[in-house]
Amino acid sequence: MSTSHFARLANALAITFAKPEPFSEDKEKSFMAEYAATHLWGRRAGLLIALATWTAFAYWDFYVRKHYPTVFTENIFQSVLLIRFLAVPVLLAALVFSWTSHFRHEKTASLILLTISILSGFGIMAMMVITPAPLNYEYYFVGVMLVISFVFGIANLQTGPLRVFISALFAALIVQEAAFNTLGVYFFPAIFYFVFFCLTGWVVGVKMERNARDHFEAFFSLQQKHRHLEQHVAEQNAALAKNIIGDASGFLNNPSGGVPG
């Protein structure tokens, strides 16, 4: 493989994994405003889906209680249900808040989506601590994967918040295992899945943000060219009008100046 091939590969890897560079301050503000407006309704729909999914998975708790009554005891069952239903008003509040004008600002929308995503992940991890292994791995760790799918697939977060989300959940999984030995022998496959799900999601997030920025850059450049063209046409029209007025003024001052005889 030649040096140019290595350079191309390195450039492709950088584009795939590297966080896109922000624009200048004023331009970045315009981009953020457009980004928030573009994803407003998708995010509202995503919050509705998140609320419905989280609530529907209460069936999961009843299913585990029914089929593993000696392991998933009544006390464990009630504790898991308490965590699940404590999260419902939080998700509902986020959904209601998404219909306010504040949610139209990208920083606010990202903060809300990031917060409920991290809290949902922590809630599921709390269920994993309460539920004995291997049931916690088989029935509840999958919930962490669903939260990851929501963050990378529906929330449309940019790479900054995505990095915070990955770091928070990864650290929580490590601390949880060190403190409670929650998953035991299942910790390695769990963290393996987590890392590679997040790695895949990160690539998707980078690509999504880069495409959004490229689209905005192209649109911004087109607007600039359009403004320059309008300015040029206006200047040409002003010069033409000035010449016409000058010619007309000369004719009025000397109406017979151009007539032979």
pLDDT in tens, 4-31: 878 888 888 888 888 999 999 999 999 9
For the chain, the average pLDDT equals: 89
Give the span between the Cα atoms of 140 and 134, in whole angstroms.
Answer: 10
The first and second tokens of residue 224, run together, are 């600039």
Give the span between the Cα atoms of 16 and 184, in whole angstroms.
Answer: 34
Contact between 38 and 216 (Cβ < 8 Å): no
Q: What pLDDT, on a 0 to 100 scale, did the predictor assign at position 173?
A: 96
Contact between 105 and 40 (Cβ < 8 Å): no
Give the predicted TM-score (pTM) of the model: 0.85
Mean pLDDT of 230-252: 60
Contact between 182 and 134 (Cβ < 8 Å): no
Give the span between the Cα atoms of 256 and 100, in whole angstroms.
Answer: 72
Q: Kindly indicate the confidence band of residue 118, based on its pLDDT and cuts at 50, 70 and 90.
A: very high
Residue found under tokens 């600039």: 224
Q: Kindly tell me if the per-residue pLDDT of 254 is higher than 80.
A: no
